[in-house]
């Protein structure tokens, strides 16, 4: 698959704007927790480039290969604690927005695991990754060979 447009060179200020939240999110949420959330969002969206990048990041930040293999089936895996399960369910709900809402039980489960600021930061991280996924997919930026 050939990339359609080199969006980084064509719109450097736009890409810089998308990157602007990254330093904050990386400080606000622990790694590899953040990487795992970004992997799951990217899996749902089918963004090969972002899955590849965030798996590399998660490994660099201490995630086990086994745990990364389980991200796609997190709800059946014993490797994720209650907080991670709530975050992954919430990430799926925010990414899919079925019926244009996040189900109350999913939100409440996340709310029970995170304080208000952390839940807001988690939401921002999910939204940011959805933006990156859509850009990479639209421009056909695939995973490196």
CATH code: domain of residue 52: 1.20.1290.10
Q: Is the pTM of this model over 0.85?
A: yes
Residue 71 lies in a domain: yes
- Our count of domains for the chain comes to 1
- Which residues in 31-135 belong to E strands, given as ranges? none
Q: Largest Cα–Cα distance of the chain, in whole Å?
A: 44
Q: Is residue 15 part of a domain?
A: no
What is the residue range of 81's domain?
Answer: 23-138
Angle between helical axes of 12-19 and 116-138 (0-180°, round to 10) = 150
> Which two structure tokens, joined as six digits, stand for 90?
């919430």
With beta carbons less than 8 A apart as the criterion, state whether 113 and 86 touch. Answer: yes
- Domain-located, residue 11: no
Q: Say what the pLDDT of residue 6 is.
A: 86
pLDDT tens, position by position, 16-71: 998 899 999 999 999 999 999 999 999 999 999 999 999 999 999 999 999 999 99
Q: Within a 10 A sphere around the Cβ of 75, how many other Cβ atoms?
A: 10
pLDDT at 10: 87
Which residue bears the tokens 């109350």? 104
Q: What percent of the chain is helix, strand and coil (3-state, nearest 5)? A: 75, 0, 25
Residue 47 lies in a domain: yes
Residue 66 counted as domain residue: yes
Decide if pLDDT at 142 tops 80: no
Cβ atoms of 65 and 59 within 8 Å: the answer is: yes
* In a domain? residue 69: yes
In a domain, 8, yes or no: no
């Amino acid at each position: 698959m050939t990339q359609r447009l080199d969006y980084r060179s064509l719109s450097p200020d736009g890409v810089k704007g998308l990157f602007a939240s990254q330093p904050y999110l990386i400080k606000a949420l622990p790694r590899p927790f953040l990487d795992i959330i970004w992997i799951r969002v990217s899996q749902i969206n089918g963004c090969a480039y972002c899955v590849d990048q965030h798996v590399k990041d998660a490994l660099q930040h201490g995630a086990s290969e086994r745990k990364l293999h389980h991200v796609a089936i997190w709800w059946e895996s014993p490797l994720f604690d209650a907080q991670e399960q709530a975050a992954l369910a919430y990430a799926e709900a925010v990414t899919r927005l079925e019926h244009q809402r996040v189900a109350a039980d999913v939100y409440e489960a996340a709310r029970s695991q995170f304080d208000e600021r952390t839940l807001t930061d988690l939401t921002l991280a999910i939204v940011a990754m959805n933006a990156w996924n859509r850009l990479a997919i639209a421009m056909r930026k695939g995973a490196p060979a």
